[in-house]
Amino acid sequence: AQKVTQAQTEISVVEKEDVTLDCVYETRDTTYYLFWYKQPPSGELVFLIRRNSFDEQNEISGRYSWNFQKSTSSFNFTITASQVVDSAVYFCALSDAQGAQKLVFGQGTRLTINP
């Protein structure tokens, strides 16, 4: 069975600090996909990134970066120079590569950026 663990329930930092959200996953599949979603206080779920299990290259998008390491089954998310608008709940998720590619979510990490 697939499983995603986000051990950090809540994180609080001061604006402009860097912050890393941890995600550890379990799967027996050789092909799978990893995702991060953001849920701001308004409640909607916003897709941030999808990563293929065969692609371990780190990715950077502005202040956001993602570190995928198959050796440790981790897909961590770093926000550099955090801003108040980054305050949200962040979810890591995993899907297999078959059919509906159903998502298995972690419990989420509530990130609060204080001015």
Partner 1 sequence: DAGITQSPRHKVTETGTPVTLRCHQTENHRYMYWYRQDPGHGLRLIHYSYGVKDTDKGEVSDGYSVSRSKTEDFLLTLESATSSQTSVYFCAISEPGLAGGREQFFGPGTRLTVL
Can you tell me which residue has the tokens 């050789």?
30
Instruction: Tell me the CA distances in angstroms from 97 to 7, 9, 46, 54, one per residue in order.
Output: 25, 28, 21, 12
Q: Using CB under 8 A, which residues numbered 81 to 110 contact partner 1?
A: 91, 93, 95, 97, 99-108
Q: Which amino acid is at 15?
A: E
Our finding on whether 70 is near partner 1 (CB under 8 A) is: no
Q: How far is the CB of 100 from partner 1 (least distance, A)?
A: 5
Q: Using CB under 8 A, which residues numbered 15 to 54 contact partner 1?
A: 31, 33, 35, 37, 43-45, 47, 50, 52
Neighbouring-strand partners of residue 69? 74
Q: What is the distance between the alpha carbons of residues 25 and 28, in angstroms, rounded to a whole number?
A: 10
Q: How far is the CB of 45 from partner 1 (least distance, A)?
A: 4
Q: How far is the CB of 64 from partner 1 (least distance, A)?
A: 16
Burial (0-12, 13-18, 19+ Cβ within 10 Å), 114 = exposed
Site residues (CB under 8 A) for partner 1? 4, 6, 31, 33, 35, 37, 43-45, 47, 50, 52, 91, 93, 95, 97, 99-108
